[in-house]
Each structure stands twice: as C-alpha cells, then as structure tokens.
Chains A and B, each alone.
Chain A
Amino acid sequence: MKNKFLMVAAVAVILIGTGCAKVPTPEIDLATATIQQAQDEEASVYQPEQLAAVKDSMNMVMELIEVQKSKLIPKYSDIKTKLANVTSMANQVKQNTEARKQALRQEAQTLIAEVTALNETNKSLAASAPKGKEGVTAIELINADIAAIGKMILEADALLTSGDLINALDKTRVAKEKAENIHLELKTVIEKSTRKTRK
C-alpha cells in the first residue's frame, strides 16, 4: 500500500511538472529577432512575398503557443521545431534579400557604367557628325538629349547611393534606351554622310 501511495505521488509530480512546461521564450525571441533583421535588410521591398510568408508562419506559431497555454498539460516540443523552422526561413529571407540587393546594385552599377560610356561615345559622335548647315539643328537637339541623359545618369547614381536600387535601375534602363536610339541616329547620319562623300 505504501508503494501505491508513492506511485500516486510520483504521477502527481509528473503531472505538475508537465503542467509547468515553459513557453519557449528564447526560441520566440530568436525567431522574432531574425524576422526583424530581415525587415531591417528591407525584405519588404526586395522580397515582400517571402517576408509575408515568414511573418504569417510566425503568427501561426504564436497562435499554437496560445493554444498550448490554454491546455491543462501544455506541450511545446513541436512548437520549438516550428520556431526553429521560422528562424531558418527568416534567415533565408534575409540572405535572399541581401543577394537580390547585391544583384540589383551590381546590375545598376554595370548599366550606369554602360550608359555613361555610351553617352560619352554619343558626345564624340555628335562632335564629329557632319557640320553642314542642315545638320546643325539636328545636332543641337541631339546634344540636348545627350545632356538630358547625362542628368538622368546622375540622378540614377544618386538613387543608387541612397539605396533606392529599383528606382535607380529603372531610371538607368530608360536612359539606356534613349542613349541607344541617339547612338543609332548618329551612326545613320554619319554613315549617310560618308557614303555621300565617297560618291
């Protein structure tokens, strides 16, 4: 009978022990901090869907914690695994954001360098374009376009420096298209004039 009494006491101790299972605060804090890091990295701009998915998962886990809290015997082992997954997902989002930003920055830098070079080439071509009376007006207009492209490149560069990568890239793309059109126009004019001279 003494044994029975001890058994009941042991079960009670186990029950009380399990009943006092603690909320996995360190894991929650880690997941929250990692999500915050992803946000600080501007994931909302460069990986918005991924960030939303992670936040959603975190909310779901927090709900599961509340479900467990309201139970007589809460169990957090599954939740700890889920929180670890959220942390890993958030880390991935952070890395993906960094990678995308890096790629965009690289693309914008390359494109800015390309457009700058093309604009310089256009300047030289415009300077060497036929100087006939009829060409003067056209060259003046082209020079105005070249100046506008130069201004746009500066704006794109400023955006890049301020970290507005998407806008910087878009601006550079527009400048590139315009610079390519001018290049083609100048080449055609020069070619025409060369052919005329040969005749």
Chain B
Amino acid sequence: MNRKWLKPGFWLFTLLTIIALGWLILIKLQSKSPALDIALAREKLSEARAVGAEIYATIIFDEATALYDSANLIWKRENEKYFFMSEYSRAEQLAQLSVKQSEASIKKAISYSGNLRKNLEKELRRYNEKCRMFEKQFDQLPLDKELRSSFLSAQMSLKEAELAFSNLNYNLCIEKLKITKEEIDFTFTITKQLLEEYFTMYGLWSDLNAQALNYSTQHHDYALVVSKFQKKCFLYYAGKEEASYDIELGKNWIGDKRHKGDKSTPEGLYHIVEKKSGKQTKYHKALLINFPNTDDKIRFAAEKKNGTIPKNLDIGGLIELHGEGGKGTNWTDGCIAFSNEDIDQLYVKVNKGTPIFIIGSLQTLDKIIVW
C-alpha cells in the first residue's frame, strides 16, 4: 500500500525540487534590474528641469531625456521576454548616461541662466540709460512723427522686456529687447544723420560768432549771438561776453526759416530794425529784426522757382526777440522769446542797427551729444 503511493509522491517531490532549484538558478543568473538607475535618471531629469535646463541647456537636456526614454523602452522590451532571458545591461547603461547628461545640463543651465540674467540686467540698464539719454538730449528736437513713434515703441517694448524679466521669462525678455534695440537704433541713426547734416554748417556758425565779437570790438558796441542748440542769446560788448539769456524758439527750430508758418527761426546775420514796447507788442517788449533780408529773398525766390516751396506760400516776416518766454518749451512761430526780466535788460542795451547773428550752435556736435 505504502509502496504504491510512495512512488508517484517521490517522483513528484523530486520533480518539484528540480524545478525549484532550476528556478532559483535562473533567478540567480537573471540580469540585474535597471530600476534604480532608471529611477535616478528620472530624478536627475526632474532636477534639471527645475533649474531650467529644458530652456537653457536644451540640447544636453533633450539628450538626457532621449537616453532616459530609450532606457525605459529597452527595460520594457526585455521585460516582455522570459525573465531568465531578459538582458538589462543596455537599459542600465543608457540610464547612467542619462544621469550624466542631466548633470551636465544642470551645470550648463545654472551657469547659462546666471550669465543670461546678468547680461539681460546689463542690457536692460543700457537701454534704459539710452532712452533716458534720448529723452534728455532730444526731447526738444523737432523730430518727425515716424521717429517719435519709433522712440515710443522702443520705450514700450523696453517696459515689456522689464516685465518679462521680472517674471523670469528670459526668452520673452530677449525678444522684447530685440525690438527695443531695433527701434532705438533706428531713432538714434536717423537723429544722428539729421544732426550731422545740420552741423555741416558749423564752420559758418563759428565765422558768424567771430564776426559778432569783431563787430563789438571794432565798434565798441553791442552785438548779439543767438545759439539755437544752447537755447541762449549772448550779448557781446567790446569783444567780451557781457551777458547771456535763456531763450525759447519755434517748434521746428532746427534749420533755416524757409517760408511763412514753418515755425522756424531764420539763421544768419540780421539787425534790429524796430524797438517795441507798451501797446506796440503783446509780448511785453519786442525787438523786430530785418527778416527777410536780401539773401532770404533770393533763396526763397530760387526755392519757389525750382518747386521746393509751393507757389502759394509767402516768405513770412515779423521775426522778433520778445518777452513772455520762460515757458520751458519751444512755442513761438519763429521768434526768439525771452523772460520779461531778460528782455527788459536787453531792451535798454541794444538799439536799432544792433547786429544779431543767429546760428545753430557755438559748440561742435560731439560736445553736445553723447551717442
């Protein structure tokens, strides 16, 4: 009876033991799981993302991600095989490489974003300074609408860049700074061209100033020099500067007066032809000059003839040095405005016939503008 059951039991036990042993041997021989390496790779990728490697070290970060994905893929593929046939060493290798690339991307991102931040801060400061400088130096310049609009656009995109910077959105900040740069560079370039062209007359202005000094020396009398850029009127007497006054001009004060209504102040040598006070003027006191003089008339006629001035336009006149100034803006129709106190002083010193030299500037352009 016992022998009858012993036989199959023995064989079953032996078979199970062999299977178990074989199983154990196969488990022992099984390739090492890449789980830990892959988990580490994932953690490093996450760390890299947190420091912005996705943006600041894109190539290395993408490589790390691809390596991690490949490691996962191989792991998955090997898991589909019989466990004793799975080979994880490649997945493990890829995961380790992914860790290395992630670490490199972290290093690069930290260094790059730090440098980028510094550079952007520097650029923001630079353009802020440029905008301030432009406002300070060119606020009173009669720039055309396109230039004004460019400058406004530069100011606004700079504000947007600052906002993006404070939101740590460096890419947007770069984009906005690019627009700022384009607009401000355009504004500066055109303004520079305009001024450089105007200052080609500097030699003539220097001559006129020397003539004023000579006149006052030779005649032991007064001569006036109006320097548009300095917004000053200099009173010379016997070859010396006796006084200087702040002045205001017309809106389009750069360049010579070409016709009536152009809001420009004529340039060249003129004389006082009439002194007005009381009811003779609404500007406290006034000194009328001989605009248009013969040169002005010749130039005007020539311009009309060649069509650069429309035929229906008049040359204009009634250019005065008058009071009611001190408004802080260029508001006249082409006259030269003084404060009432200053015109009072000047009024008693000058007479009919006193020469007045109206020039662009007494200083060279590079002394006035820092580009």
- Contacts A62-B72, A134-B327, A174-B159 given: A70-B79 contact, CB under 8 Å? yes
Q: Are A136 and B49 in contact (CB under 8 A)?
A: no
Residues in B whose Cβ lies below 8 Å from that of A141 = 148
Q: Are A170 and B39 in contact (CB under 8 A)?
A: no
- Extra inter-chain contacts (8) besides given A52-B49, A171-B160, A177-B159, CB under 8 Å: A70-B33, A70-B79, A70-B86, A144-B145, A148-B156, A174-B156, A174-B163, A178-B159
Q: How many residues in B have their beta carbons less than 8 Å from beta carbons of A? A: 41
Interface size class on chain A is 35 or more
Interface residues of B in 241-256 (CB under 8 A from A): 251
Residues in B whose Cβ lies below 8 Å from that of A134 = 327, 329, 331
Q: Is B172 in the interface zone, CB < 8 Å from A?
A: yes
Residues in A whose Cβ lies below 8 Å from that of B49 = 52
Instruction: Indicate with 1 or 0, residue by residue over A1-36, a CB within 8 angstroms of chain B CB atoms.
Output: 100010010000000000000000000000000000
Q: Is B149 in the interface zone, CB < 8 Å from A?
A: yes
Q: Is A167 in the interface zone, CB < 8 Å from B?
A: yes
In the A-B complex, the 3 residue pairs with the closest CB atoms? A134-B331, A69-B79, A174-B159
Q: Are A144 and B164 in contact (CB under 8 A)?
A: no
Residues in A whose Cβ lies below 8 Å from that of B35 = 63, 66-67, 70
The CA of A73 and the CA of B210, in the complex, are separated in Å by 106
Residues in A whose Cβ lies below 8 Å from that of B42 = 56, 59-60, 63
Q: Are B152 and A148 in contact (CB under 8 A)?
A: yes
Interface residues of A in 120-149 (CB under 8 A from B): 132-138, 141, 144-145, 147-148
Instruction: Indicate with 1 or 0, residue by residue over A162-177, a CB within 8 angstroms of chain B CB atoms.
Output: 0000110011011101
* 11 A-B residue pairings within 8 Å (CB atoms): A52-B46, A59-B42, A60-B42, A63-B38, A135-B331, A138-B329, A148-B156, A170-B160, A170-B163, A173-B163, A178-B159
Residues in A whose Cβ lies below 8 Å from that of B79 = 66, 69-70
Residues in B whose Cβ lies below 8 Å from that of A170 = 160, 163-164, 167, 172
The CA of A52 and the CA of B47, in the complex, are separated in Å by 11
Q: Is A158 in the interface zone, CB < 8 Å from B?
A: no
The CA of A5 and the CA of B5, in the complex, are separated in Å by 11
Q: Are B156 and A152 in contact (CB under 8 A)?
A: yes
Q: Is B75 in the interface zone, CB < 8 Å from A?
A: yes
- Contacts A56-B42, A59-B42 given: A144-B152 contact, CB under 8 Å? yes
